[in-house]
Amino acid sequence: MADAKVYPSGLTEAEALELHSGVINGTRTFGALAIVAHVLVFAAHPWGKGGALVAQIASQFVA
């Protein structure tokens, strides 16, 4: 049954699982990079009330 084609894709079950794991890993990588990018942007240019609080706390250490 492992070699049976999964239609309409034409992939076998093993190929479909391999493709799915690649898509999932790519999505996780993209998500992790997006979170890191947002944290870096927030650290450089805080937005909203939370950003003002972070900037106030950070200024105590810098000054």
Structure tokens at 31: 């998500």
Query: For residue 63, what pLDDT band results from cuts at 50, 70 and 90?
Result: low
Average pLDDT of the segment spanning 37-48:
79
How many residues comprise the chain? 63
Question: Distance (Å, rounded) from C-alpha 14 to C-alpha 36?
Answer: 33
Cα torsion 8, 14, 19, 23 to 10°: value is 110
Instruction: Give the count of domains, the chain.
Output: 1
Q: Is 31 helix (H, G, I), strand (E, B) or coil?
A: helix
Residue type, 10: G
Q: Structural domain of residue 48, as residue ranges?
A: 5-62
pLDDT recorded at residue 50: 59
User: Looking at per-residue confidence, does 34 or 41 come out higher?
Assistant: 34
CA atoms within 13 A on the CB side of 35: 6
